[in-house]
Amino acid sequence: MLENFRTVFIIIPAMATVIGCSTGNPLTMPNLEYACESEHRTSNGIANTYLWGYYDVFIDIENLAVDAVPDRTGLFTANVVNFINSMPAGLSFHINGTNPGAGHIDIDIDVSITHPFPGMPQFNGYDVRGVFMGDGFGTLSYNNKLKYPVDGTDQFMIPDPVDGIGGPDGYTRWFNKPEFSTGGMPLFSYTQGNLATPGFNGTATLNAYRYFADGLPANADLWTFLTANNAAKGVFSSGAKNTRNYYLRFPDTKGVKYGYAIIANWEGPDIHPSNAPEAVACKVIDNSDLYYVDPSVNGGNLILDLSFWNWGGQPSKIFIESTVLTSPHEFTPDQMVPVAGDENYSTYHAEIPADNVTGISGHEYWVIAQYDDFDYKNDFGTTNLAGDDPLASFFRYSLTVSDENPEPPCKNIPLRDDALAVDIAIDPSNGDLLVLYEDKTVYRYEKNDCYQNGAHIADVTMHISQIMYAIEIAPNGYYCIALTYVTPDTPGLFIFDFDNNFKTYFGMAPPKPLDAFALNTGPMTNDMGFIKGWVNSTTGYEYTRILRTTPKDDDYGYGLVYDFIITDGIHHGVDRVHYEFVKAIEPDIDGTRMWILEDPDYYAARWELKVSGAGFLVYDNAFFGTGVQSDNDDSWFDARDLTRDNQNRFFVLDLLESGQPR
């Protein structure tokens, strides 16, 4: 394992040391030979990350004032009066506001750092991080020496709950007080200062940071900035002043005080840029499908695309530690193969089964990028408790867990054995499922029962020759059933109220109806109708026709509105509809578009609905299905119906090749 050359001293003495060694400047420092030697150790594995400052920070909430006291005993002493009497690294604060909460107070604060050497570009720093140091009640399983802050218990940096600004750019282990206060040379260890008020000693060994660089706005997203300004290499220029916003939460039991450290990378006056070997930023695309219904119904997968920014040197190992995993997941060799990236970053994809989903709230995950060629040692024998542990970057994210099982419930619903299910509908008011059977009965399957038991709620037996085709339900609780009479082939639409009482009937000219629909969102909410074919006897045009009725007061007896999709002969494709192929119609969640499923075309395509009434519908450039008859989950063998839930997930009622419904 290669050694890391990481020095633990304030920026001012660091710069003074180099001046004394290489430029003839008369500034003097004790143990100068050690600093001069460091100038030549620039081989691979030497990270050259410096500590620009340790501070004990006290915030006066009443007067909106901040007192940041540099820990001078921890400095490598320099014979420069203005350096000793001022804040090294020019640390300043501005409180934007405070927000008291239940058991805590939140503080929105800007932190500014000024590089102390204007006009001396040989001392430009890189990957500067301002580290917020507090207590750590939590422990990572990845390494039980890593103690991290817990919200509600410890001082905590979070994104502003209102605008999402001010959260951590990452977490670092470098220069935490518990591990880097073991004594030895002041150059490489921290010693508590003799303050008038005893200094704050945080217990966390893993602390949140914000990244500082020239041109990076206080509230900007770090990843967006780095991708747009990669040529600058994260420089903090000589003499520059840079500001970042922090949103900090302090429990009442802790008080408003914390530690603050500034670390930077710098290798030598003639070596620029000099970036950190570990990732300084991470971008996550989280498509996880985690769910928790009850102790026996839970699970899903962490589905993550992780991008690490560390100027080309990518991790040796990647770990995910999460509240939904019983143990940390180490990426497999296949998962360690990047799926995207460039010279500055690489992207990795992983899908990790969750085996410890215990509820819907309080979940998070850590992304850990480990670098086996680097550790936390120095070349001069000064020990710290991190020592031989591999260098790592840490990033922390909240995790959403749904209270609904994302698996399509229709695959697990026990339908009746004595009658064939003809059609289905989801009740938009509560998620219950209505099933229409061929014996002209309607059953309700409750969502809260995971759709496991159906209850008979209605019979549709007004005429012996009626054939049932489709059922749909509107948000007002009314539902409709599309049907036809055998002789003649006359379509009709029956409407029932929410108590399952028959309300209205509409009759139409042949041919038979193909499917019914009910709009539950948008400007036509509660409209119901059906889709059928129609041939214009004068022009000979064949149409697919959509008819709908609008409720008024407690009735639907106010006529129909007609829309058309012209049919240009028998065809195949997502951008055409032929009424002889239509199996189902379902409104989109926005209430202004329709999905039409065709079989044997084996596609479902989306069409724009005319809000104002009669007119021709147009294809809306969206579809699903494979165009191939199949028992596979992404297609269907003999589709009978299409419906949608309130998350815009679609359900296809299908007969498998075996004749079994699914």
Q: Is the same domain home to 508 and 638?
A: yes
pLDDT band at 494 (very low <50, low <70, confident <90, very high): confident
Q: Is the same domain home to 388 and 508?
A: no
pLDDT of 217 above 80: yes
- What's the pLDDT score for residue 209? 96
pLDDT band at 654 (very low <50, low <70, confident <90, very high): confident
Q: 662 in a domain, yes or no?
A: no
pLDDT band at 625 (very low <50, low <70, confident <90, very high): confident
Q: What mean pLDDT do residues 227-234 have?
A: 94
Q: What mean pLDDT do residues 382-409 have?
A: 86
Lowest mean pLDDT segment, chosen from 116-130, 309-323, 383-397, 572-586: 572-586
Q: 323 in a domain, yes or no?
A: no
Q: Is the same domain home to 66 and 187?
A: yes
Lowest mean pLDDT segment, chosen from 230-234, 294-298, 483-487: 483-487
- What's the pLDDT score for residue 38? 30
Q: Is the same domain home to 88 and 197?
A: yes
pLDDT of 486 above 70: no
Q: Are 493 and 482 in contact (CB under 8 A)?
A: yes
Residue 659: count of CB within 10 angstroms of its CB: 9
Q: Residue holding tokens 């490598």? A: 76
- What's the pLDDT score for residue 62? 67
- What gap in Å lies between CA 208 and CA 236, rounded to an integer? 20
Lowest mean pLDDT segment, chosen from 198-202, 207-211, 569-573, 600-604: 569-573
Q: 348 in a domain, yes or no?
A: no
Q: What mean pLDDT do residues 145-151 have?
A: 95
Q: Are 348 and 341 in contact (CB under 8 A)?
A: no
Give burial (CB, 10 Å; 0-12/13-18/19+) of 30: middle
Q: Is the same domain home to 16 and 146?
A: yes
Q: Which of 393, 347, 334, 401 is nearest to 367 (CA)?
A: 393
Which sign, positive or negative, has the C-alpha torsion 212, 213, 214, 220?
negative
pLDDT of 29 above 70: no
pLDDT of 265 above 60: yes
pTM score > 0.85 for this model?
A: no
- What's the pLDDT score for residue 571? 63
Number of domains in the chain: 2
Q: What mean pLDDT do residues 93-108 have?
A: 90
* pLDDT, greater one: 277 or 43: 277
* pLDDT, greater one: 110 or 37: 110
- Please name the residue ranges forming H helices in 29-129: 32-38, 81-85
Q: Which two tokens stand for residue 109?
A: 């604060």
Q: Is the same domain home to 504 and 387?
A: no
pLDDT in tens, 105-115: 999 999 898 88
Q: 129 in a domain, yes or no?
A: yes
Q: 341 in a domain, yes or no?
A: no
pLDDT band at 573 (very low <50, low <70, confident <90, very high): confident
Q: What mean pLDDT do residues 432-454 have?
A: 84
Question: What does pLDDT average to over the chain?
Answer: 76
Q: 659 in a domain, yes or no?
A: no
* pLDDT, greater one: 417 or 520: 417
Most confidently modeled range among 52-61, 121-130, 152-161, 483-492 = 152-161
> Cα dist. 390→263, 281, 371, 589 in Å?
19, 18, 6, 50
Torsion angle defined by CA atoms of residues 397, 400, 405 and 408, in that order, rounded to the nearest 10 degrees = -80
Q: Is the same domain home to 383 and 438?
A: no
Q: Is the same domain home to 517 and 380?
A: no
- What's the pLDDT score for residue 27? 28
pLDDT of 288 above 80: yes
Q: Is the same domain home to 546 and 595?
A: yes
pLDDT band at 251 (very low <50, low <70, confident <90, very high): very high
- What's the pLDDT score for residue 44? 43
pLDDT in tens, 304-344: 999 999 886 889 999 999 999 999 999 999 999 999 989 89
Q: Is the same domain home to 382 and 463?
A: no
Q: 598 in a domain, yes or no?
A: yes
Tell me which residue range forms the domain holding 31. Answer: 6-283+371-399
- What's the pLDDT score for residue 336? 94
Q: 443 in a domain, yes or no?
A: yes
Q: Are 123 and 216 in contact (CB under 8 A)?
A: no
* pLDDT, greater one: 59 or 177: 177
Give burial (CB, 10 Å; 0-12/13-18/19+) of 119: exposed
* pLDDT, greater one: 403 or 543: 403
Q: Is the same domain home to 498 and 561?
A: yes
Q: Is the same domain home to 393 and 419?
A: no
pLDDT of 385 above 50: yes
How far does the chain reach from its first CA to its final CA, in angstroms?
Answer: 57
Q: Which two tokens stand for residue 412?
A: 């697990």
CATH of the domain at 466: 2.120.10.30
CA 430 to chain centre: 27
Q: Are 549 and 506 in contact (CB under 8 A)?
A: yes
